[in-house]
Structure 1
Amino acid sequence: MIKSHWALATSLCLAWGAIAPALAQTAAPPPEKVLRYAFPVAETGFDPPQLSDLYSRIITANIFDALYGYDYLSRPARIKPNLAQGMPAVSADFRTYTVTLRRGIHFADDPAFGGRKREVTAQDVVYTYKRIFDPKTKSPSLSGLQEEKILGMDDLRRKAQANGSFDYDTEIEGLRALDRYTVQFRLEQPRPRFIHTLSDPGILGIMAREVVEKYGDQIMEHPVGTGAFMLAEWQRSSRITLVRNPNYREEFYDEQPDPKDPESVAIAARMKGKRLPLLDKVVVSIIDEPQPRWLSFLNGEHDLMERLPQNFATHAIPNNKLAPNLARRGIQMERVPLSDITMFFFRMDHPLVGGYTPEKVALRRAINLAYNSEEEVRLPRRGQAIVAQGFVMPNTGSFDPQFRSEMGTHDRARAVALLDMFGYVDRDGDGWRDQPDGQPLVLEYETLGTADYRELDEVLKKNLDAVGIRIVFRIGKWPEQLKAARAGKLMMWGVGLSASSPDSGPVLERGYSKAWGQGNLARFSNKQFDELYQKQSQMPDGPERDKVIQDAVRILVAYMPYKVRTHRIGTDLMQPWLVGYKRHPNAREFWRYVDVDTARLPKQ
């Protein structure tokens, strides 16, 4: 009997020894799903109305929600409800838009809410749009939203400018909360594409008033939205960590792929019905030099190589095909033409490169003709771009691939002839041209000084050297350069611009006189251009509007406040464990739609 009990105890111990590891294994939490990748330039902050740079807006687009958004897989781009219950009720004259909000959507928890769950209401929408017009916000998006002509909003701003305080509590005709969940926009003029304005969370993500009032001047550091992610840690210009928002609404993957794109169809089938977001965390590093950014991806430290550095295109995608060594590792490639332009501007109120007199226009046009955009595409960009002929971007409604203009022309002989004709000649025999009044002609161009920018700058210098124009490069930091450009302190600066909607019209803000210090960094002013800009904004899509847009582009080509250089081709590389990634031409809030297959992660 004693032996029997001992045997039983032994058997139980042996059984427990077999079961315990299994129980421990069952109890262990699943591996954390983390998306890791890098930005090539530093962020400026996370308060949506204060932003104009792409990379900060990527962060805010994933923290905040707009009323509408884009289906992640649909091509061409298709707008769908986000915070809204359905599509807006739109009047026949495109002047009244009425939106009903979904109920039960809450902001991320924050001390500003005093420990209670804070639901999004129509008043939050009203407050968010009013902040753009508050002079204290100094929003670079002001001119664009002013063109939507929201009734009463400009008057409210003027009163604030007069008395020093913006009255958020005054109700205006053009923006009203009809009830707790219904907001109505009334516009002075027809705006057929106003829904695009309602679909940009990077700038018009809905905010809570008590959060802005609690953090005041520190609001750039305290973004609180309703989006899938929330800011957990920020090491300025170094590392940004975001985590899943536990208050995020119940949302399931239901994106509608282009049936002609088998890759999108496969993604939709694999992801359909999954609860969003799929990731637990996103870690964004700031790595301005292309080589360490590329090596971080090759070494498996990053899951996504967002926009392969052009310096490595010949190694990673020879002949625009994924290199065999990368393919063997299971690395995936997504290569698409971007809805963007690269350009540099001439500050139009600068005494050297600005002005509207014939000799000043001739100088800018000569610089344009001297510059060889095809050489830029072939050498520093390694074929990852096409020469731009104007401002209209690929994947937008008015883009015409057959359009040609002087903007995309390289003609050194014509450049030399223009310079000679208008008195830009070498007067002191030092080999460099001088101004017509005999003063030195020295261009000052702001740049970053990283390897990829150095290659681009070499092409610019080589082409200007060839026509006798001296250029000096001033190396700085991107956020500071942006501030200086807005303040009108730079002579020339090279920037890129990406479309946030499939509409071709907003890019023309770069020449609109009321957008000085905002979108119009060149400070260009032309009455005829302004009239065309306003006219196209009220027209329905179609050939007539396309012609007005091209007429506006021709004015910019003639006066040359900007030299538009290229439209880039984006090549994204993904590690084999990153699932569901697809570049959208307009939307930036892709994080919630991608997953990490933890079973395929490298063993530590």
Structure 2
Amino acid sequence: MNNKLRLLLLVLLASFVVFMAACSNDGASGDPEETPSDDPETEETPEEDEETDGLYSIEDFDHIKDDGTTIDGGELVFGLSSDTPFEGTLNWNFYSGNPDAQVLQWFDEPLLTWDENYVYTQDGAATYEIDEEDNRIWTLTIRDNVNWHDGTPVTAEDWAFAHYVIADPDYDGVRFDSSLRNIEGIVDYHNGEADEISGIEIIDEKTLRITYVQATPSLITGGVWTYPLAKHIYGDIPVEEMSSHAATRQNPIGFGPYKVDSIVPGESVSYSKYEDYWRGEPALDKVTLRVINPSVVVEELRNGGVDMVSSFPQAQFADVVDELSNITWLGNIDRAYTYIGFKLGHWDEENRVNVYDPENAKMGNKNLRQAMWHAVDNDTVGERFYHGLRWAGTTLIPPSHPEFHDATNPGRAYDPERANELLDEAGYVDVDGDGFREDPDGNELVINFASMSGDEIAEPLANYYIQAWANVGLNVQLLDGRLHEFNSFYDRVEADDPDIDIYQGAWVVGIDVDPSGLYGAEASYNYTRYVSDENNQLMTDGLSEAAFDVDYRVDVYNQWQEYMVENVPAFPTLYRAALVPVNNRVTGYAVGDGTGYFRYQVGVTEEVAESAE
């Protein structure tokens, strides 16, 4: 999709939730992250005959701020916008949520970086070489000056150790996915059938060789696990204790531009510059990360209490953009979307696979799921409440990946008449005349809807969806009659709480377009638990040798997007812009991937943050 078409879509469409402002190029790699959302400011359904003024486009914003002369040193305050504490699992090998990723990005990073097309470069802390005769074999070399914050060199053994921990049967994280399973011998090791991973070989202190089962196009765009684990710290810790150990939660270590000095659990982190950072000495002396409730983000920005925030309540943008004279707004298309997911089975922990069980799932009827998508008007939600900075989602590959996002696929447009037809066809009719449909067997149908808390518009948006579904005769009720904070929400969704029928979630998608990490049969993140032979085959085709032909791969993922529109285990509600407010004194900061700007370059031009006039 070219820029002009993106602009046209942004003006005509709209969208929903804040959770993460995309950061400089040294952020997390292609691993999915969940995050809270913020929602419309009224419980009323937007009237379609209202005037729509003040629509913005992502092209209204620069994505880099590098003006001014950086002073020596200085301190920056970063606001993590959240109504809940960060969990504090502060290691890339164990974390699962976006708030922790926001903390991690200041002190740790992947060994490989990527360009604007999400392809690995040779500019990171490690370089790579692909064997010319067998492109399944990768040789990875860590630079000599890459050291952990305690001065210990980052080694090939650390990199291999991370793979062994993730593949260990006692590992309690979510990273043992299809990408890791593509390494020769790793499944045998995981199953206890081998003492070593045959596809991982330590050549010397700084060189690691990995042999993959299959060479796939995803390998060069996120298919390599790029996060080492400090063996000199974690080597004596039992694997099942690593994620909760003090080494992860109280005294985390990395090799990024800043090192952790202190942590107030869930509330704040103090960092200081790591002078021996491999790219060069960081511009700032200190960084302070503070959790900021979304309700006070605007005031904190106005008075200079924070220099930037991880996410901004976009519904407020038009109201404050002129008054926040001390702020420069950066933006880019976000590598993310929000979605409605339907619970269709459960996770088999012993075999680490999803079990699809539509016969016993309340939401197992495809017509019901299709109808619920047709019933909601995300175009209008985005235009009325997000000023064009969020727009209706159509497929489960977002436009942040323009080569693979099928812009010709309309998804399921707002069409309550069609929703009613689908429900009638499937036998969902109002038997007792109370205005709500019973199920095809004539039993009462109450659909329990789990949604996250956030800023002041989180509840109104959830209520809008509930009302939209009520308009087509579906009795949808908030789980426990309330919203749930981020951590407890995902605890219950991940555990397949039987009280949850549908849920409203959000994903930051990987740099690689491969959707198997979110919707594959072996993906723990596949919270819908939807599995089918055709879905599996399409994902396999997208990673096949034939998929090195980009046109072939595009066609496969177009088919997959259409397949998911037809079967609707989940549907996207809103795509969005990554909108990042930064104080005018900040320089060297960029929004987006592959920008060539890194965290160590972020600096300030004045000692004190600028306040609004």
Query: TM-score interval w.r.t. the shorter chain?
Result: 0.7 to 0.9
- Residue identity opposite 1:43 in structure 2: F
Residues 1:207 and 2:229 are matched in the alignment: yes
Alpha-carbon spacing, 1:245–1:84, altered in 2? closer, same or farther (3 Å)? closer
Say if 2:552 is the partner of 1:544.
yes
How far has the Cα of 1:296 moved from its partner? Answer: 1.0
Shift of 1:30: 7.0
Q: CA deviation at 1:377?
A: 1.0
SS of residue matched to 1:549: helix
Are 1:500 and 2:496 matched, yes or no?
Answer: no
Is residue 458 of structure 1 aligned with residue 486 of structure 2? no
Aligned pairs for 1:536-575 within 5 A:
536-538=542-544, 539-540=547-548, 542-575=550-583
For residues 488 and 589 of structure 1, the distance between their equivalents in structure 2, rounded to whole angstroms, comes to 40
Aligned equivalent of 1:384 = 389
- How many Å separate the matches in 2 of 1:196 and 1:595? 29
What is the CA-CA distance between 1:409 and the residue it aligns to? 1.0
The corresponding residue for 1:299 is 303
- What is the CA-CA distance between 1:178 and the residue it aligns to? 1.2
| CA spacing shift, 1:59–1:359, aligned 2, 3 Å | closer
Q: Deviations over 1:173-196 (max 9, x none)?
A: 211101222100101111233133
1:440-461, CA deviations, whole angstroms, 9 ceiling, x for partnerless residues?
2112122233313123213202
1:239 and 2:268 are equivalent in the alignment? yes
Does residue 1:513 correspond to 2:521, yes or no? yes
Q: Structure 2 vs 1, CA of residues 180 and 382 (structure 1 numbering), >3 Å: closer, same or farther? A: same
Whole-angstrom CA distance in 1 between matches of 2:358 and 2:496? 13
Q: CA separation of 1:144/1:525 partners in 2, compared to 1, >3 Å: closer, same or farther?
A: same
- The answer to whether the 8 Å contact 1:346/1:354 transfers is no
Matches within 5 A, 1:65-464: 65-70=109-114, 75-77=116-118, 79-81=120-122, 84-109=125-150, 117-147=151-181, 149-159=182-192, 170-197=195-222, 204-213=226-235, 216=241, 217-218=244-245, 219-221=247-249, 222-249=251-278, 251-252=279-280, 275=281, 277-288=282-293, 290-317=294-321, 323=322, 325-326=323-324, 329-349=325-345, 360-396=365-401, 398-400=403-405, 402-405=407-410, 407-450=411-454, 451-464=456-469
- For the pair 1:53 / 2:97, whether they are aligned, the reply is yes
- Change in Cα spacing, 1:367 to 1:586, as seen in structure 2 (3 Å) is farther
Normalising by structure 1, we get a TM-score of 0.79
Deviations 1:92-114 (A, max 9, x none): 543111112211422112xxxxx
Q: Would the alpha carbon gap of residues 430 and 589 (structure 1) be closer, same or farther in structure 2, given more than 3 Å must change?
A: farther
| Distance verdict in 2 for CA 1:157–1:535, change over 3 Å | same
CA change 1:60–1:397 in 2 (3 A) is same
Q: Indicate the RMSD between aligned Cα atoms, in angstroms.
A: 2.9
1:355–1:282 Cα change, 3 Å:
farther
Deviations 1:37-96 (A, max 9, x none): 22325433213222232231232233223221136xxx4456434665534234354311
One-letter amino acid of the structure 1 residue matched with residue 525 of structure 2: G
Distance 1:43 1:139, change over 3 A: same
Q: Distance in 2 between matches of 1:134 and 1:107?
A: 24
SS in 2 for 1:543: helix
Larger Rg belongs to: 1
SS of match in other structure, 2:581: strand
Distance 1:509 1:78, change over 3 A: closer
Question: What SS does the corresponding residue of 1:379 show, helix, strand or coil?
Answer: helix
For 1:509, the aligned partner's letter is: G
Is the CA contact (8 Å cut-off) linking 2:80 and 2:99 kept in structure 1?
A: no
Kindly state the Cα deviation for residue 355 of structure 1 after the two structures are TM-superposed.
6.2
Aligned-pair distance for 1:337? 1.6
The list of structure 1 runs, each at least 4 consecutive aligned residues, that deviate by more than 6 angstroms after superposition, is 350-359, 586-589
Alpha-carbon offset, residue 366 of structure 1: 0.8
- Residue 541 of structure 2 corresponds to which residue in structure 1? 535
Task: Kindly report which structure 2 residues correspond to 1:30-49, keeping only aligned pairs within 5 A, or say none.
Answer: 32-40=74-82, 42-44=85-87, 45-49=89-93
Distance 1:104 1:308, change over 3 A: closer
8 A contact 1:306–1:571 mirrored in 2: no
Question: Equivalents in 1 of 2:478, 2:372: separation in Å?
Answer: 16
Match of 1:577 in 2: 585
- 1:482 is matched with 490
Contact 1:67/1:81 (8 A) holds in 2: no
Larger fraction in helix: 1
Partner secondary structure for residue 574 of structure 1: strand
For residue 492 of structure 2, what is the amino acid of its counterpart? A
Post-superposition Cα deviations, 1:369-413, rounded to whole Å, max 9, x if no partner, equal 1111112212343321121210112232533463224x3411100
Change over 3 Å in CA distance of 1:243–1:422 after alignment to 2: same
Q: Match for 1:340: what amino acid?
A: A
Whether the 8 Å contact between 1:61 and 1:588 is mirrored in structure 2 is no
1:389–1:403 CA contact under 8 A, matched in 2: no
Matches of 1:92 and 1:365, distance apart in 2: 48
Give the match's secondary structure for 1:494: strand
State the identity %.
19
**Where does residue 3 of structure 1 map in the other structure?**
none
Distance 1:560 1:146, change over 3 A: same
What TM-score, normalized to structure 2? Answer: 0.77
Secondary structure of 2:121 counterpart = strand
SS at structure 2 position matched to 1:459: helix
Native 8 Å contact 2:315 2:387 kept in 1: yes
Unaligned runs of 5+ in 1: 1-28, 110-116, 161-166, 253-274, 318-322
Query: In 1, are the aligned partners of 2:261 and 2:271 still within 8 Å (CA)?
Result: yes
| Greater CA drift, 452-461 or 363-372 | 452-461
> Contact conserved, 1:107 with 1:119, CA < 8 A, in 2?
yes
Matched position secondary structure for 2:365: helix
The question of whether the paired residues in 1 share the 8 Å contact of 2:378 and 2:574 is answered with yes
Q: 1:296 to 1:522 in 2, by over 3 A?
A: same
Partner-residue secondary structure (3-state), 1:65? coil
DSSP 3-state at the match of 2:401:
coil
- Secondary structure (helix, strand or coil) at the match of 1:425 reads coil
What is aligned with 1:63?
107
Partner of 1:592: 600
Aligned counterpart, 1:523: 529
> In structure 2, what is the Cα distance between the partners aligned to 1:602 and 1:415?
51
Q: 8 Å contact 1:341–1:564 — kept in the other structure?
A: yes
Corresponding residue pairs, total: 515
Q: Distance in 2 between matches of 1:352 and 1:188?
A: 30
Once the two structures are TM-superposed, the CA of residue 555 in structure 1 deviates from its matched residue by 1.9
**Structure 2: distance between partners of 1:565 and 1:307:** 18
- Taking structure 1 as reference, are residues 78 and 93 closer, same or farther at Cα in structure 2, changes over 3 Å only? same
3-state DSSP of counterpart to 1:100: strand
Q: CA separation in 2, counterparts of 1:597 and 1:498?
A: 32
